Structure 1
Amino acid sequence: MKKVLILNGHQYYDVVARGELTQKIIDKAIEFFLKNGFEVKFTNIDKGYDISEEVEKFEWADAILFQYPVYWMGIPWIAKKYFDETFTQGKHYSNDGRSREDSLKTYGSGGLLKGKKYMLSLTYNCPKSEFNNKEGFFDGLSLDEANIATHKTFQFCGLEALKTYSMHDIFKGDLDLNKELVQFENTLKENFL
């Protein structure tokens, strides 16, 4: 696994979401991958992209790192548009997986990107304590369960999940970015080395 596509899913909003934090995380990822001998391709979705080039990047990559801020409990709409446009070109799945001839073939098993992996890297305003907490906002869901739609988007195309990284309380004012970037790099090591 030596070819990585890094997707910047940030969408710019003046004052509250200019993208500096997402860029610092991506810069750390690029540094990590290059230092460890990986080939890296990169897409900043908000800056625009060529759909056919993005299709090819997914075929080229062994792994995808998708870094994005969680907006309203999901991915920014421009990132959703990116996946809609990129994954509907007929190159990442053959069909939904089901077969009239073979009942063992189940929905979601028609992905053509099998053998490839993906990692989610998320930034949240909410505290980490809201997850895995029956009294919390997410009703006891884990971080990955609360982001199931994003996971299933990749899995439908055949990719396999790596450990998710998340940074929390980003607007609280006491974020120790250096400490967080060390934890992020440790997750990269666990997933890719």
Structure 2
Amino acid sequence: MSNILIINGHQYYPFSEGKLNATLVDEAVSLLTQKGHETRVVTMQDEINVEQELENHQWADIVIFQSPINWMGVTWSFKKYMDEVYTAGMGGALCNGDGRTADEPKKHYGRGGTLSGTKYMMSVTFNAPEEAFNDPSEFFNGKSVDDLLFPMHMNFKFFDMRALPTFACFDVMKNANVDNDLERFKAHLNDHI
């Protein structure tokens, strides 16, 4: 069975208390532990111990990143977590520099990752409806969820991690369908983990 690190990137706001993201994390823990996987959970409300977080990433076979998308990206507290933990991991815990060498300073950028074999899954929540994506006449100009998450995917590729299919909940503030989202999430986890 696998070691699975789940990072809840929710940032509390009075209008967004984080109940859906917390519920998705709880569902993942419950389902995955029932299947025999070991899980660890970190939230942005926890005091972040950088060394422990580096060890968590090295321990994990799979990392699930659960986050709302605010202003087209992850929350500021999740970004702060990445800035602190991932920068500290540049010395070998997550990667050996950026992959370039003195002999070839213009080649192999982003190829220094040390988490080969580790998989990751993005699970995100949107205020935007699903119909806003993949349609050239809508807001995202025909772009997909993964197009919007491209910088996140590149972060994890930098560590030589491999992507599992992304999961998304849509329209969560105005037309939420939590029961359906939870069923889809459980099916997604069963299909990919």
Q: Give the alignment's TM-score, normalised by structure 2.
A: 0.93
Partner SS state of residue 153, structure 1:
helix
Q: Residues of 2 paired with 1:46 and 1:73: CA distance? A: 21
Partner of 2:163: 161
Q: Give matches, 1:134-173, under 5 Å.
A: 134-173=136-175
How many positions carry a matched residue from both structures? Answer: 190
Pair 1:181-2:192 in alignment: no
Give per-residue Cα distances to partners, 1:117-167, cap 9 Å, x unaligned: 000000000011111111121111111011111111111111110000000
Give per-residue Cα distances to partners, 1:43-76, cap 9 Å, x unaligned: 0123322111001000000010000000000000
Q: Residues of 2 paired with 1:24 and 1:155: CA distance? A: 28
Identity of aligned residues (%): 36
Deviation at 1:83, TM superposition (A): 0.8
Partner SS state of residue 5, structure 2:
strand
Structure 1 consecutive aligned stretches of length 4 or more whose deviation exceeds 6 Å: none
Q: Residues of 2 paired with 1:22 and 1:55: CA distance? A: 23
Q: Which runs of 5+ in 1 are unaligned?
A: none
Matched residue type, 1:178: D
Identify the range of structure 1 (36-45 vs 84-93) with the bigger mean alpha-carbon deviation: 84-93
CA gap of 1:190–1:104, structure 2 versus 1, over 3 A, is farther
Q: Residues of 1 paired with 2:34 and 2:71: CA distance? A: 35
Q: Residues of 1 paired with 2:177 and 2:151: CA distance? A: 29
Pair 1:47-2:49 in alignment: no
Q: Give the alignment's TM-score, normalised by structure 1.
A: 0.93
Q: Residues of 1 paired with 2:83 and 2:148: CA distance? A: 20
Partner of 1:38: 37
Partner SS state of residue 81, structure 1:
helix
Q: Give matches, 1:20-169, under 5 Å.
A: 20-89=19-88, 90=91, 91-101=93-103, 106-169=108-171
Q: Residues of 2 paired with 1:50 and 1:30: CA distance? A: 21
RMSD between aligned residues: 1.5
Q: Residues of 2 paired with 1:51 and 1:104: CA distance? A: 31
